[in-house]
Amino acid sequence: MEQLLRPIYQERASHPNTIGVILIEKREEVSPITDTFDTILLIITKESDRPVFTKHYTFKEKKAAMHIITEKQLNKWLLVGTNKKIVDWLFFGKVLFDRNEYLSNLKKELKEFPFYGRKIKMGIEFAKLIRRYLEGKVCFEEKNYLDAYNHVVESLHHLARLAVMDKGLYPEVTVWSQVKQIDPAIYKLYEELITSEESLDKRLELLFLASEFFIHSRTADGATHVIEVMSQKDFWTIQELHEQEELKNYSVNLEVFIEYLIDKGYISVERVETKGNNIYHRDYKVEEIVD
């Protein structure tokens, strides 16, 4: 398939805007990593009006997909973790074109996982964990055990990814294989949830108690990025927090995360008068001393 796609990627590589081209071949009969396609052609550009542009090709019984993405879009996927396949593509794909060693440097950076990048990624992952945990707790208390089970599985997955990041590694698609080696205690939690012969409600009850301990122990690390950003000035409105460039990545999980950090004493609320009687705006500030 590479031979057939060569004219396509060579033409793209000749554009000064193109900074990298990677070819990814299907490794299994049914391959979710390549979205069931036989070949993926990933082309990274410096900039474009469209952050993602996709074309599909076919040759006899084979099919291929070409994705042209901007560097900004790639960085967002890597930061927020919304496209987990992209890490696999970068690490295991065949580099066909690499302008100024862009891809080589990127892969080296991902392997080393710079501390600043780890902090923001851990913050985003921790915020997702908090939302899943709280939603699961509500379902459990309402005796909606199957829904609670779904939330617990997802929260354990976020916890697993945090454990991997904590070791300075990048979470792979097969994150539980990593966690089994890195943090057996979290792996054991997951194993207990899916293999225990206890009733579902008993399993969930134990998992919520254990998860609470793990969440508490990781709160300081998970909150580091948000606290550092908010320390840049004394007070923030919620709109200012939503519009802050780095905090935009927390998306819909930002507010529940802020409320969690208020509850844990990391952030305090300042009441600001409005024109209405006994109605106040809420401003937010970082507490100077955190227990």
What token pair was written down for 137? 């707790």
CATH number of the domain to which 87 belongs: 3.30.460.10
Q: What is the pLDDT of residue 191?
A: 93
On whether both 123 and 52 belong to a single domain, the answer is: no
Is residue 287 within 8 Å of residue 266, measured between CB atoms? yes
Is 220 a domain residue?
Answer: yes
| Phi, psi (deg, nearest 5) at residue 58 | -140, 145
Question: What is 193-226 written as a DSSP string?
Answer: HHH--S-HHHHHHHHHHHHHHHHHHHHHHHHHHH
Is 189 a domain residue?
Answer: yes
Q: What is the pLDDT of residue 291?
A: 46
On whether both 122 and 72 belong to a single domain, the answer is: no
Q: What is the pLDDT of residue 174?
A: 80
On whether both 25 and 63 belong to a single domain, the answer is: yes
- The number of CA neighbours under 13 Å toward the Cβ of 43 is 25
Rounded to whole angstroms, how far apart are CA atoms 204 and 152?
8
On whether both 154 and 248 belong to a single domain, the answer is: yes
Q: What is the pLDDT of residue 241?
A: 97
On whether both 261 and 123 belong to a single domain, the answer is: yes
Choosing from 92, 111, 130, the residue where a domain stops is 111
Rounded to whole angstroms, how far apart are CA atoms 86 and 104?
15
On whether both 266 and 278 belong to a single domain, the answer is: yes
On whether both 136 and 220 belong to a single domain, the answer is: yes
Is residue 283 within 8 Å of residue 237, measured between CB atoms? yes
Sign of CA dihedral 238, 242, 245, 249: positive
On whether both 191 and 70 belong to a single domain, the answer is: no
Choosing from 76, 111, 146, the residue where a domain stops is 111
Is 92 a domain residue?
Answer: yes
On whether both 11 and 141 belong to a single domain, the answer is: no
**pLDDT tens digits, 205-255:** 999 999 999 999 999 999 999 999 999 999 999 999 999 999 999 999 999
Q: Quote the DSSP letter at residue 236.
A: B
| Phi, psi (deg, nearest 5) at residue 21 | -135, 130
Rounded to whole angstroms, how far apart are CA atoms 45 and 61?
30
**Domain range spanning residue 30?**
2-111
On whether both 185 and 241 belong to a single domain, the answer is: yes
On whether both 19 and 97 belong to a single domain, the answer is: yes
Per-residue pLDDT of the chain (291 residues; tens, 9 = 90+): 778 888 888 998 999 999 999 999 988 776 788 988 999 999 999 999 999 999 999 988 899 999 999 999 999 888 887 787 898 899 889 999 999 999 999 998 888 776 668 889 999 999 999 999 999 999 999 999 999 999 999 999 999 999 999 888 888 778 899 999 999 999 999 999 999 999 999 999 999 999 999 999 999 999 999 999 999 999 999 999 999 999 999 999 999 999 999 999 999 999 998 887 788 999 999 997 544
Is 131 a domain residue?
Answer: yes
Is 39 a domain residue?
Answer: yes
On whether both 155 and 39 belong to a single domain, the answer is: no
Q: How many domains does the chain have?
A: 2
Choosing from 111, 139, 168, the residue where a domain stops is 111
CATH number of the domain to which 141 belongs: 1.20.120.330
